[in-house]
Structure 1
Amino acid sequence: MNNLLILPVILPFAVGALLILFAKYGRLQRIISSIAVISLLCVSVYLASRSYIDGTQTLELGNWQAPFGIVFVGDLFSTFMVVLSSIVGVVCLFFAFCTLDRRRERFYFYPFYFFLLTGVNGAFLTGDLFNLFVFFEVMLLSSYALIAFGGTGYQLREGFKYTVINVFASALFLVGVAYLYGITGTLNMADLAVRIGEIGQTGTLQVVAMIFFIVFAMKGALFPLYFWLPNSYYGPPAAIAALCGGLLTKVGIYAIIRSFTLIFTNDTGFTHTLLLWIAGLTMFFGILGAVAQFDFKRILPYNIISHVGYIIMGLGLYTRIALAGAVFYIAHHIIVKSSLFLFEGATKKVTGTSDLRQMGGLLKTHPWLAWLFLISALSLAGIPPFSGFFSKLPLIRESLTIGNYWIAAVALVVGILTLISMMRIFSHVFWGEQKHTEEQAAISLKKPLLAIVPLVILTIILGLGAEPVFLYSLEIADQLLDPTTYIDAVLGEAK
């Protein structure tokens, strides 16, 4: 059964390579893509269930025993992330079917789409840092193409900036890998945890830890390294913006959580206090950007920035409840943020613009669009009974319990400002005088909404079923705080 661990990587890679051959056959590409992405979701759910029932799963490629060979690790956290990426992959693909210009399909949209999923899933499942770098590059190379997809001047300009920034981050990643290998003689994550524990805290290791933090913070859009994100996600079509907005920053956040709960844990008083301050600043400055915007599609990237701060807040607090809240928040944010980008694409399909000042009256002509958007918007702001409330609640309660009142205050203020930014969208886009023509009002959104509905249903389910979801998050937090299970599963007798 462990051989199935490689399927979330091999399946999208093989499908992406196959679709290159059929780039000119749009219908055939859509059929193959549909079968592949649904199969990927089924495999991901199965792997998550096996890791929950049977414990952490490992796969040593080529039968090379860890730490010398390539190893894939399917623990509760990594398989949970793979399931989330597969859900977003399914929804965004079906939304692309009904909104993407057919001419654009011919320019290898589907191959790059699946290559990006390959990199994302590989980053979640890999058990060593060098292959984490490799899968980061697979993901980023695909994202370079997708962000520039369509070839407008704006996309090419911002895509170039995005590429340059990430090339620099990748170079810095390699520097960190080289330093860490020079100190420990290994890049296997489980083996690193053992050897760094034996070496103890040194100034050099602290520097290496900060190098990795800078790399992952740049990819995760944390303060002050988030400047690349708002413009990069503004240009692409909604399906691509939703895929990138939902997943790409979470890969960087996943890497931070994995490395600072498994590898760099010798001086949590310094590292995790720093993480907590970074979380607060990310939340605060991100939401200031959101409330300052009057463009639907520009508000959403700033909300990504502010809300990844909540996740890092849980890591910075570094308690069982806080980490469980962070894990819960990852699921909530991936689902809700992806849906909001898709809602923006649906409204633009009708109105032809994302400028709030040129929009209005969609509640009258497209009521289902309005009310479904409102559910996701309220969930993002943390209004009960949706997932946003129940994922924020443990973070704020835990910060108050352990006496970090300032971060609780920041989190509450950011929640209020998030609600203001979402209600600004709702009041301008859906209320008020109808500013789109009757011809535009007649545009049907049945198919795009059918694609988005699963995400809206999920945020409701995560809210109404918060208790079992949080209990599952607690089990993930237990594994993160006690990495013995991970280390034993990977190294076994080699430890």
Structure 2
Amino acid sequence: MATATPSVDLSEAMITTVTPAADWVIVLPLVLALMGAALLLMLRQKRGIAPIVAMLAVAGIIACEVMLLAKVLQVGPVSMTMGKWLPPFGISFTADIFGAGFALAASIVTLILLVYVQGEREPGDGSDGFYSLVLLLLAGVTGSFLTGDLFNLYVWFEVMLIASFGLIVIGGQPIQLDGAIKYGFLNFLATSFFLLSLGLTYGLLGTLNMADIILVAPSANPAAMAGVAGLLLLAFGMKAAAFPVNAWLPASYHTPPAAVSALFAGLLTKVGVYAMMRALVVLLPASRDLLEPLLASIAIASLLIAPLGAIAETNLRRALGFFVIGGIGAVIAGIALPSLHGIGGAGFYILHAILTMTALYLVAGLIERLTGQTDSRRMGGIYAAHTPISILFFVLMLAAAGVPPFLGFWPKLLLLEAGLAQSGLREGGAVDYLSLAIVVALLANAVLTLIAGSRLWAHIFWRAGPEGELSEHRSGKLQPLSLREARFGLGATTVLVAIVVLAGLMPEDLFTAARMGAGDMIDPSRYIAAFGLAGGTP
């Protein structure tokens, strides 16, 4: 089989101009995260310095990403290539609206989490490398959102895996080691599948640059490219914890401290499903069309099975893990409905999940602090003892279920619009029953998630005491939050929930950004032009 040739001649592939200073904003978030992680590792014995340095580094990253997102909104996708080689030979970092927006959201929740953990950790506790690993994880997440090269994406996945593996075992408790084995094995397997797909892609196309893949993939063997797409779907599906390769998430995310669980739930699976969306919708759209029935089936199964798992679960954070899986099903539903509304809804949902899932796990950490328990059957009475936490959980439960006017409602509205449009019901012609099934699954997911969340809220907050004969008697085992826990833990969580509420009440700008981001995915001509590969169209 002939190998497709790159779209740029080697003799013209050298960079001879200096990169403008303004373009460095694309890579500055990565530089700050990596340098900050290294500095924190060197300063880990200095008491009290680590959290300050970490927060300053993340604040700098946020400032850079705000400027980057503003630039992308103004001029479209922007790209910067490392070294002296032009694309597709050099490693490119490229930001479009979705990539820049998700990177910014990831940095914001990381900063809030760093404030939150000050209520759990001693002021001078930094010798375990926690803050270095958090910044390293943020570097991996940011690099994954901003890379324009598939092999570079694999590198950032490895950075994320190393950092997350370190975070999950901090403390060395048996339950953490058990969770680390389950988490690590499945993710190492997913990484192996991803690496295999990269080798096949390079062998078939002669390039791993994302823009170049868009240009040359249509001329490659369709059956071979469909096989590559299937491998990518498997690898990213495992990373995202989509059904049926999702069992590792609820088995591992409840084992580390709540702040680490929140970071994982808000960021890691979202990177996996974002990579799936970019690979299948942007890079290999013809293969996505072939895989559409499979994608729809995965989305429907994830949407339905996840909330049922949450209803059956009694451990609070394990139940929230099923909420995370249900959200992944919603994003995959958008990938299976590749219209402006479908892809826009999927991107919008990723943003919602980054914020809402992180906040849910932070609230769960506060609940565990109050009760000293992880099993919801042994909790109760928190509404009377600490009403603000009960209100925060209730709001987030509604947002996760997609109840209007909270943030989760708007992306589901876009997805429902996409499903109804593709089903053919409005035109009165032939009905696409698979699209109609996605619509039904989205509605059923909302109802089932609301039932699961209401059950947790009733058991944890409304019921006076633990399950059993004394459940109507007020629990005397609640431990009030210390001043430090209330100031940092509850304060940081309240700020994040406020962001979720305000974003839900004022979604107009998010709608606009979602449509623009979806437009660049469906028609990647501006994305290709950012690389300097505008000589052809896919």
C-alpha separation between the residues in 1 aligned to 2:224 and 2:422?
31
The one-letter amino acid of 1:437's match is G
Shift of 1:102: 6.1
Shift of 1:101: 5.4
Structure 1 residue 424 corresponds to structure 2 residue 445: no
Note the 1:71-90 alignment, pairs <5 A: 71-90=92-111
- Going from structure 1 to structure 2, the CA distance change for 1:63 and 1:493 (only over 3 Å counts) comes to farther
C-alpha separation between the residues in 2 aligned to 1:270 and 1:412?
26
Tell me the equivalent position of 1:476: 517
Higher normalized helix content (fraction of residues): 1
Contact preservation (8 Å) 1:58, 1:71: yes
- Going from structure 1 to structure 2, the CA distance change for 1:488 and 1:33 (only over 3 Å counts) comes to same
The one-letter amino acid of 2:310's match is A
C-alpha separation between the residues in 2 aligned to 1:419 and 1:20?
43
Note the 1:19-418 alignment, pairs <5 A: 19-100=40-121, 105-199=126-220, 201-403=221-423, 404-418=435-449
C-alpha separation between the residues in 1 aligned to 2:141 and 2:449?
28
Q: Secondary structure at the match of 1:63?
A: coil
Contact preservation (8 Å) 1:272, 1:318: no
Q: Secondary structure at the match of 2:285?
A: coil
The one-letter amino acid of 2:515's match is L
Structure 1 residues 312-351: Cα deviation after superposition (integer angstroms, max 9, x where no partner): 1011011111111111111111111100000000111111
C-alpha separation between the residues in 1 aligned to 2:55 and 2:125?
18
C-alpha separation between the residues in 2 aligned to 1:321 and 1:438?
49
**Percent of aligned pairs with the same residue?**
34
Contact preservation (8 Å) 2:229, 2:287: no
Higher Rg: 2
Structure 1 residue 458 corresponds to structure 2 residue 479: no
C-alpha separation between the residues in 2 aligned to 1:281 and 1:36?
40
Tell me the equivalent position of 2:8: none
- Runs of 4+ aligned residues of structure 1 deviating over 4 Å after TM superposition are 101-104
Q: How many residues were matched structurally?
A: 494
Give TM-score, length-normalised by structure 1: 0.97
Structure 1 residue 490 corresponds to structure 2 residue 531: yes
Tell me the equivalent position of 2:10: none
C-alpha separation between the residues in 2 aligned to 1:291 and 1:317?
28
The one-letter amino acid of 1:440's match is Q
Shift of 1:446: 3.5
Tell me the equivalent position of 1:437: 476
Q: Secondary structure at the match of 1:25?
A: coil
Contact preservation (8 Å) 2:211, 2:533: no
Shift of 1:270: 1.7
Structure 1 residues 103-126: Cα deviation after superposition (integer angstroms, max 9, x where no partner): 863211011111000111011111
C-alpha separation between the residues in 2 aligned to 1:393 and 1:298?
27
C-alpha separation between the residues in 2 aligned to 1:231 and 1:220?
14
Q: Secondary structure at the match of 1:62?
A: coil
C-alpha separation between the residues in 2 aligned to 1:37 and 1:442?
27
C-alpha separation between the residues in 2 aligned to 1:433 and 1:289?
25
Structure 1 residues 286-336: Cα deviation after superposition (integer angstroms, max 9, x where no partner): 122111011211110011011110011011011111111111111111111
Contact preservation (8 Å) 1:190, 1:491: no
More off after superposition, 444-453 vs 327-336: 444-453
C-alpha separation between the residues in 1 aligned to 2:481 and 2:277?
47
Unmatched tracts of structure 1, length 5 or more: none
Q: CA RMSD in A?
A: 1.6
Contact preservation (8 Å) 1:104, 1:150: no
Give TM-score, length-normalised by structure 2: 0.89
The one-letter amino acid of 1:182's match is G
C-alpha separation between the residues in 1 aligned to 2:503 and 2:32?
28
Q: Secondary structure at the match of 1:402?
A: helix
C-alpha separation between the residues in 2 aligned to 1:164 and 1:215?
13
C-alpha separation between the residues in 1 aligned to 2:166 and 2:76?
38
The one-letter amino acid of 1:306's match is G
- Going from structure 1 to structure 2, the CA distance change for 1:256 and 1:154 (only over 3 Å counts) comes to same
- Going from structure 1 to structure 2, the CA distance change for 1:448 and 1:64 (only over 3 Å counts) comes to same
Tell me the equivalent position of 2:471: none
Shift of 1:67: 0.4
C-alpha separation between the residues in 2 aligned to 1:253 and 1:387?
19
The one-letter amino acid of 2:480's match is A
Shift of 1:162: 1.5
